[in-house]
Amino acid sequence: MSLNKELLDILACPKCKGGLELKSGEDGLACAKCKIVYPVKDDIPIMLVDQAVPEKEWTGSK
C-alpha cells in the first residue's frame, strides 16, 4: 500500500475526530479511542463509520 505520510497526518476518525494509525498489514486505519478499524481497499481508505470494523474483530482485508 502506498498511503502517503502527509495524508496519514491529516486524516482523522470520522466518529471522534481523533488520530488514526496504519495497521501493521497496511490494510486498515485504526482509531485507538473508538477501537475501530477503517478498511483500506485498493489504496483508498474507506472512511465511513458504518464500514468500520471493531478492532477485536479485525482480520484484515479480504
Residue 62 domain-assigned? no
Instruction: List the CATH number of the domain containing 13.
Output: 2.20.25.10
Domain of 15, in residue numbers: 5-57
Residue 27 domain-assigned? yes
pLDDT band at 7 (very low <50, low <70, confident <90, very high): confident
Residue 42 domain-assigned? yes
Q: How far apart are CA 34 and CA 43, in angstroms?
A: 22
Residue 26 domain-assigned? yes
Which pLDDT tens digit goes with each residue over 30-58? 999 999 999 999 888 999 999 999 999 99
Q: Which residue has the cell 490494510?
A: 27
0.75 exceeded by pTM: yes
Q: Total domain count for the chain? A: 1
Residue 47 domain-assigned? yes
* Cβ atoms within 10 Å of 22's Cβ, excluding its own: 17
